[in-house]
């Protein structure tokens, strides 16, 4: 069996009905895992993902819960265990972002961002880790962070702060859970074509400007994040913990766009 195989494992993906989460749920299923799709409100989309998981010959489940509702996490984890059994792999993918200037950020925006992007993932990991520890088989926790957790972006202060916090939580949990053979890592996508930015109002020419800053010359797709997550979830990643894999087409490594120097002759 390949060291990248997830056969016999069950994964839970938050925000798994669309965007990066959808791609990851299907990618994990293609690698052999049964998958629980945790979704907030897109029930029809979640059902479509589950149908595709089952078409791949894997067990698929759709469970509704707003990860920002931290008080409801123990109950939803109980429901997941009743329906799908033990969870071996947690992918904390659900996230929110609000594009607004610093001086317009409200307490509600701040609290919603932190609850969904930091507090929820922490307490979901805590709840699921209890079961992993009791079973004694180890486990995998993979937080979907962002390049915004490594370098800030204008008009996204709460989002930047939340992803920075998630990066540090990844390292902290990696230390605390290492005695139980539970690895904790993050994957930090760059500019990925998802629904999260559909409502953002940006200036004309903004997207063209962005492409100038991506060395690979294109926006990422949800599928571009699958390889890193599957590797970290599998035996191939068994000795990796507390680390961040950046999936950004090179955007963080280039200070001045290559195009400003001219194309190579």
Q: Any idea where the domains of the chain sit in the sequence? A: 10-257
pLDDT by residue for the chain (265 residues), tens only, comes to: 689 999 999 999 999 999 999 999 999 999 999 999 999 999 999 999 999 999 999 999 999 999 999 999 999 999 999 999 999 999 999 999 999 999 999 999 999 999 999 999 999 999 999 999 999 999 999 999 999 999 999 999 999 999 999 999 999 999 999 999 999 999 999 999 876 555 566 667 777 888 888 999 999 999 999 999 999 999 999 999 999 999 999 999 987 777 666 665 5
**Which pLDDT does position 194 carry in this prediction?**
77
Q: What pLDDT does residue 212 have?
A: 86
Length of the chain: 265
The label of the residue with tokens 């994990």 reads 28
Give the residue numbers marked as catalytic.
159
Q: What is the pLDDT of residue 209?
A: 82
Please count the other Cβ atoms lying within 10 Å of the Cβ belonging to residue 69. Answer: 14
- Any residues with CB less than 8 A from the CB of 138 and at least 6 apart, and which? 132, 180, 181, 182, 183
Q: What are phi and psi of 201, to 5 degrees?
A: -95, 115
pTM of the model: 0.94
Tokens of 54: 């089952």
- Give me the CATH topology for the region 10-257: Rossmann fold (3.40.50)
């Amino acid at each position: 069996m390949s060291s990248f195989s997830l056969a016999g494992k069950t994964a839970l993906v938050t925000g798994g009905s669309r965007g990066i989460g959808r791609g990851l749920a299907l990618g994990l299923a293609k690698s052999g895992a049964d998958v629980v799709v945790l979704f907030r409100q897109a029930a029809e989309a979640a059902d479509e993902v589950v149908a595709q998981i089952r078409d791949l010959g894997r067990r698929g489940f759709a469970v509704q819960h707003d990860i920002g509702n931290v008080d409801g996490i123990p109950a939803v984890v109980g429901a997941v265990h009743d329906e799908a059994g033990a969870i071996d792999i947690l992918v904390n993918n659900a996230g929110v972002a609000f594009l607004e200037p610093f001086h317009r950020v409200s307490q509600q925006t701040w609290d919603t961002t932190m609850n969904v992007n930091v507090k929820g993932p922490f307490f979901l990991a805590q709840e699921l880790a209890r079961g992993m520890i009791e079973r004694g088989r180890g486990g995998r926790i993979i937080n979907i962070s962002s390049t915004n957790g490594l370098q800030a972006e204008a008009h996204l202060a709460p989002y930047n702060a939340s992803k920075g916090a998630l990066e540090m939580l990844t390292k902290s949990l990696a230390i605390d859970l290492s005695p139980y053979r539970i690895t904790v890592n993050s994957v930090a996508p760059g500019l990925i074509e998802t629904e999260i930015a559909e409502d953002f109002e940006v200036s004309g020419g903004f997207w063209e400007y962005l492409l100038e800053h991506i060395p690979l010359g294109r926006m990422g797709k949800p599928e571009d994040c699958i390889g890193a997550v599957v590797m970290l979830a599998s035996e191939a990643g068994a000795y990796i913990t507390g680390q961040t894999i950046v999936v950004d087409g090179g955007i963080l490594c280039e200070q001045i766009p290559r195009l400003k120097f001219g194309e190579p002759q």
